Structure 1
């Protein structure tokens, strides 16, 4: 059962990495450091969008519209941290 606990933590860490990479890439595209017309940048950007949309979509429906500010990555990261805290506090169930 310890391995299930570690696998769950690994999945949360990977999700956290993808969200942070998407967040940083969106800023780099906004400030025109990265050009979305480049094939590699385009593939990575749309791949991350397709991967994270099932997480961001429901959050965007719940969160209020703030114009150009999207808080769904922040809420998703907070949710991941909360899940990690719950898992770590209940590690006894996995042993």
Structure 2
């Protein structure tokens, strides 16, 4: 069971970390601390968006449209935490 649980937990931990970086970076961009015209910032931002968009898109299709506020990252964040901390340990360790 640990052969399945370990990689699943690792994948969820990596997604969790990438989401934290994406959320903090979005705040820094919105408050004009980071500028997307800087090449490295633009590349990191584009890379994070390409990684996370396939995860966010299905959630955005389910959630109602709240145009100025994107609730998909919050919903995915809650789902990842629930899977990582509550559901997977219950499934694998009963």
Structure 1 length as normaliser, TM-score? 0.91
- In structure 2, the residue corresponding to 1:27 is in which secondary structure? helix
CA distance in structure 2 between the partners assigned to 1:79 and 1:69 by the alignment: 18
CA distance in structure 2 between the partners assigned to 1:45 and 1:35 by the alignment: 10
1:26-45 aligned within 5 A: 26-45=26-45
CA distance in structure 1 between the partners assigned to 2:53 and 2:67 by the alignment: 19
Q: Structure 1, residues 51-72: CA drift from partner, whole Å, max 9, x if none?
A: 0000111111111111210011
| RMSD, aligned α-carbons | 1.3
- Are 1:91 and 2:70 matched, yes or no? no
- Are 1:63 and 2:71 matched, yes or no? no
Structure 2 length as normaliser, TM-score? 0.92
Q: Spell out structure 1 runs of 4+ moving beyond 6 A.
A: none
